A = this chain, B = another copy of it.
Amino acid sequence: MILKLISATDEWCITEEGFHPERNRVLESITSLGNGYMGLRGNFEERYSGDSLQGTYIAGVYYPDRTVVGWWKVGYPEYFAKVLNAVNFIGIDVKLAGKELNLHTWAPQYFQRILDMRNGELVRTFQVRDEAGRLFSIQAKRFVSKAQREIACISYSISLDEDPMGQGAEVTFRPYLDGDVRNEDANYGEDFWLRCEESSTESHQLVTMETKKSHFRVAAASSFRVFLGDRELAELERSLTVHPRFAAAEVETVLQAGETLTVEKTVAVTTNRDHRDAEVSRRALEMLQERASFRYSDLFQDHSEAWHQTWRDSDIVIEGDSAAQQGIRFNIFHLHQTYTGEDPRLNIGPKGFTGEKYGGSTYWDTEAYCLPFYLSTSDPQIPRNLLLYRYHHLEKAKENAEKLGLKGALYPMVTMTGEECHNEWEITFEEIHRNGAIAYAIFNYVRYTGDEQYLEDYGLEVLVEICRFWASRVTFQPRKGVYMILGVTGPNEYENNVNNNWYTNRIASWCLEYTLEVLDHLSAKNRDKYHDLIDRFQVTKGELEQWADIIDKMYYPVVEELGVFEQQDGFMDKELLPVEAIPQAELPLNQNWSWDRILRSCFIKQADVLQGLFFLGHLYDLETKKRNFDFYEPMTVHESSLSPCVYSIIAAEIGYREKAYELYLRTARLDLENYNNDTDDGLHITSMAGTWMAIVYGFAGLRLENGRLTLRPFLPDQWKSFSFALLFRGHRLKVTVTADEVAISQIGGSRCELAIHGQNYAVDADSEVRAAI
């Protein structure tokens, strides 16, 4: 393990000691910084000619890249929206005694990079010695401001530690903005950007560009100050460079032994998502100007305070297991870096701001895995914005269903703006269970927050259109008198084009059940409003009857003799083997087996039947969960990072504590340990929320029952205790679980009723309850 835990304080840090060029791309992913508005990988400020994926990303700024398919099918989307690699604004060319600093060619004597998660700062410290024997210490620090989203700051210091010749060393800094960037994953090697303007003056550099086709305009402005020790070298002459998409200014001075030279670079990034085209550059410059008198440390102060507040509401503390502690903080840190919920036009890309892969678009991961995290750790406006994102895409989802010859709304598998971006028929057209997650998120949000008004204002409309989709997608089978759903891909994507995937049939029927419940509830509560909405959405009596009929006659495959739900029709015809039977060298299957072999095997990529038992856990008893877990778990390869958390939660629920912990470990440090050997492409952001769930829903057993928080906590044997913050309907709670006790305290607030292992309790304002477990 290269990412050391040097001391207990390192539970707040990710520390790499020594430079490992072969792992540089992995470390770049791990040390990515972001603030929901923009972010960047942990690339070096100075030039680096070794293996690196340079990446700066701005939320919502995408490009409709021409799609690639082997064989075109009717209905495939024309484009795949991609998160764009944008202007590189961290760059600082450095020369030491006339020679360009580049860690690919200068072997560092000492090297350390630290991601400080408590403060959201990346600090890199290293030493290099030049041919004349001079020893330089370099420290590069940076943050992307959580206090002012358009701002990022860099502090880059060079000290001359040893100077055998006693002549000092010439040091050159050339901070720059470079817009000549490409996406590594551009389908046809296309350049996605057009030049707008650039300038370089004594006071600032500016590069403004616009994307082709999607016409996003992005301005990056930067300024910098140079200090010798604490004294500003305002008089240093700046030699300016500007050419298309590039702006820089160079300063040079001589550094004597014992001295430290620091350049502090401040960057402001604005886009036409927030400003009129003509204003974009000006606003970036103004923002810089407003901060002209601040130093790095001033801006850092506001930034780190914002992080402290976030940690207060969402930290998880694990005692007795530093690796687990570090792992969960890493996950929470990146989740908050990726999405802050301020902008309902945004969502959570599977790689956040840490890479290009998966196009940075939205998947059902958001509703299925991320929403619970934001529900419990953020202002309710934030999960609400996640829901509104889908509400705003309803028209596009209706168009999408129409394209497939169906009614109602089918939400896309992958999207940036509501349009489908995926292009594999078995996913794009058939992995329709995603629609269920959209409906489930509404249920989940309302259940947690109690915000029934959301249903009237937005949620019901989405639910109705989802029901219409299901009603047109089912096939009535007259010989058996049942409704079936043919030709689908369930959550377990290692089965394609199957009939009657249990999860899909169940979640489809549940969507209808929930919608009818919501309508009944509304009708009872406010008859006028009910009629108002029914009229607005043109819901007919016939439709309601049809939905009830589908609920009544939905077909569910089951294995009678085992008392388990059958993943799909024909699953039991497979050769049923445990994962243990697969030689280690053949794992992961998706990198070793041809697709047909995977498909006809019994092996399960990610929770499928168990996904249903997790979502709809309130409808199934423990014995049912246990039987299905016992049957499916041994066949599950967990080749989606989203899988183990669900299994872990159910294992916890049915009392398989060791199993729950073992499964938890598979995700907790997934990226820190690079288990899937793909962290170089970026982090698995959405699975990080699953890890959070594995603790809070799994070990602590959090559930909502009749509008009440309930906990069924236990402590994994490997830990001394764990505690987490929880926001619930205005209550700011802290839950601490030890081996034999759970303590729930409230900061401020009002009386909060809850249940622990089935017993009712109440926590009053600023007080605490304890219960034996």
Residues B594 and A74 in contact, CB atoms below 8 Å apart? yes
| Interface membership of A569, Cβ < 8 A | yes
| Interface membership of A24, Cβ < 8 A | no
Given the interface contacts A70-B424, A570-B499, A575-B475, does A487 sit within 8 Å of B75 by beta carbon?
no
> Could you tell me the distance in whole angstroms from the C-beta of A681 to the nearest C-beta in chain B?
14
A594 to B400, CA, bound (A): 11
For residue A2, which residues in chain B have a CB less than 8 angstroms away from its CB? none
Residues A484 and B71 in contact, CB atoms below 8 Å apart? no
| Interface membership of A620, Cβ < 8 A | no
Given the interface contacts A479-B572, A486-B600, A499-B570, does A595 sit within 8 Å of B68 by beta carbon?
no
For residue A547, which residues in chain B have a CB less than 8 angstroms away from its CB? none
| Interface membership of A592, Cβ < 8 A | yes
A592 to B496, CA, bound (A): 22
Taking a contact as CB atoms closer than 8 A, the residue among B68, B74, B569 that contacts A70 in the complex is B68
For residue A594, which residues in chain B have a CB less than 8 angstroms away from its CB? 73-75, 403-405, 425, 429
Taking a contact as CB atoms closer than 8 A, the residue among B425, B477, B572, B591 that contacts A74 in the complex is B591
| Interface membership of A574, Cβ < 8 A | yes
For residue A570, which residues in chain B have a CB less than 8 angstroms away from its CB? 486, 499, 569-570
For residue A71, which residues in chain B have a CB less than 8 angstroms away from its CB? 423-424
| Interface membership of A760, Cβ < 8 A | no
Copy total for this chain: 2
Given the interface contacts A75-B594, A569-B570, A594-B403, does A599 sit within 8 Å of B423 by beta carbon?
no
> Could you tell me the distance in whole angstroms from the C-beta of A294 to the nearest C-beta in chain B?
47
Residues A405 and B597 in contact, CB atoms below 8 Å apart? yes
| Interface membership of A497, Cβ < 8 A | yes
A151 to B256, CA, bound (A): 83
> Could you tell me the distance in whole angstroms from the C-beta of A435 to the nearest C-beta in chain B?
14
Residues B74 and A592 in contact, CB atoms below 8 Å apart? yes
| Interface membership of A69, Cβ < 8 A | yes
For A555, give the chain B residue with the smallest CB separation. B573
Interface residues of A in 484-501 (CB under 8 A from B): 484, 486-487, 496-499
Taking a contact as CB atoms closer than 8 A, the residue among B70, B479, B591, B592 that contacts A423 in the complex is B70
> Could you tell me the distance in whole angstroms from the C-beta of A630 to the nearest C-beta in chain B?
19
| Interface membership of A596, Cβ < 8 A | yes
| Interface membership of A185, Cβ < 8 A | no
> Could you tell me the distance in whole angstroms from the C-beta of A605 to the nearest C-beta in chain B?
14
| Interface membership of A227, Cβ < 8 A | no
Residues B69 and A425 in contact, CB atoms below 8 Å apart? no
| Interface membership of A430, Cβ < 8 A | yes
A71 to B426, CA, bound (A): 12
Residues A596 and B70 in contact, CB atoms below 8 Å apart? no
Interface size on A, residues (CB 8 A): 46
Residues A486 and B573 in contact, CB atoms below 8 Å apart? yes
A404 to B598, CA, bound (A): 10
For residue A475, which residues in chain B have a CB less than 8 angstroms away from its CB? 573-575, 600
| Interface membership of A676, Cβ < 8 A | no
A487 to B477, CA, bound (A): 23
Residues B69 and A70 in contact, CB atoms below 8 Å apart? yes
| Interface membership of A590, Cβ < 8 A | yes
| Interface membership of A67, Cβ < 8 A | yes
> Could you tell me the distance in whole angstroms from the C-beta of A714 to the nearest C-beta in chain B?
38
For residue A477, which residues in chain B have a CB less than 8 angstroms away from its CB? 573, 575
A573 to B557, CA, bound (A): 13
A569 to B600, CA, bound (A): 14
| Interface membership of A593, Cβ < 8 A | yes
For residue A67, which residues in chain B have a CB less than 8 angstroms away from its CB? 70
For residue A188, which residues in chain B have a CB less than 8 angstroms away from its CB? 188
Residues A74 and B593 in contact, CB atoms below 8 Å apart? yes
> Could you tell me the distance in whole angstroms from the C-beta of A488 to the nearest C-beta in chain B?
8
A593 to B487, CA, bound (A): 14
A479 to B476, CA, bound (A): 29
A603 to B425, CA, bound (A): 18
Interface residues of A in 416-432 (CB under 8 A from B): 423-426, 429-430
A638 to B430, CA, bound (A): 24
For A487, give the chain B residue with the smallest CB separation. B600
> Could you tell me the distance in whole angstroms from the C-beta of A407 to the nearest C-beta in chain B?
13
A596 to B73, CA, bound (A): 10
Given the interface contacts A600-B475, A600-B486, does A73 sit within 8 Å of B572 by beta carbon?
no
A694 to B21, CA, bound (A): 67
> Could you tell me the distance in whole angstroms from the C-beta of A479 to the nearest C-beta in chain B?
7
For residue A69, which residues in chain B have a CB less than 8 angstroms away from its CB? 68-70
> Could you tell me the distance in whole angstroms from the C-beta of A456 to the nearest C-beta in chain B?
34
Residues B599 and A484 in contact, CB atoms below 8 Å apart? no
For residue A484, which residues in chain B have a CB less than 8 angstroms away from its CB? 573
For residue A569, which residues in chain B have a CB less than 8 angstroms away from its CB? 569-570, 573
Contact with B along A72-98 (1 / 0, CB 8 A): 011100000000000000000000000
Taking a contact as CB atoms closer than 8 A, the residue among B74, B498, B599 that contacts A595 in the complex is B74
Taking a contact as CB atoms closer than 8 A, the residue among B73, B476, B487, B596 that contacts A429 in the complex is B596
> Could you tell me the distance in whole angstroms from the C-beta of A80 to the nearest C-beta in chain B?
9
Interface centre among A484, A486, A573 (most CB of B within 10 A): A573
Residues B574 and A486 in contact, CB atoms below 8 Å apart? yes
For residue A73, which residues in chain B have a CB less than 8 angstroms away from its CB? 594-595
Residues A590 and B74 in contact, CB atoms below 8 Å apart? yes
For A589, give the chain B residue with the smallest CB separation. B74
> Could you tell me the distance in whole angstroms from the C-beta of A91 to the nearest C-beta in chain B?
32
Residues B497 and A597 in contact, CB atoms below 8 Å apart? no
> Could you tell me the distance in whole angstroms from the C-beta of A490 to the nearest C-beta in chain B?
13
For residue A590, which residues in chain B have a CB less than 8 angstroms away from its CB? 74
Interface residues of A in 565-614 (CB under 8 A from B): 569-570, 572-575, 590-597, 599-600
Q: Can you list 5 A-B contacts with CB-CB less than 8 angstroms, sorted by A residue number?
A: A429-B595, A486-B600, A487-B596, A487-B599, A496-B497
Q: With A405-B594, A486-B574 given, can you name 10 additional A-B contacts, CB distance below 8 Å?
A: A68-B68, A71-B423, A74-B594, A75-B595, A404-B597, A405-B597, A425-B594, A425-B595, A430-B596, A499-B570
The 6 A-B residue pairs with the shortest CB-CB distance in the complex, in nearest-first order: A75-B594, A487-B600, A429-B596, A486-B600, A425-B595, A73-B595
Give A contacts to B, CB under 8 Å.
Answer: 67-71, 73-75, 188, 403-405, 423-426, 429-430, 475-477, 479-480, 484, 486-487, 496-499, 569-570, 572-575, 590-597, 599-600
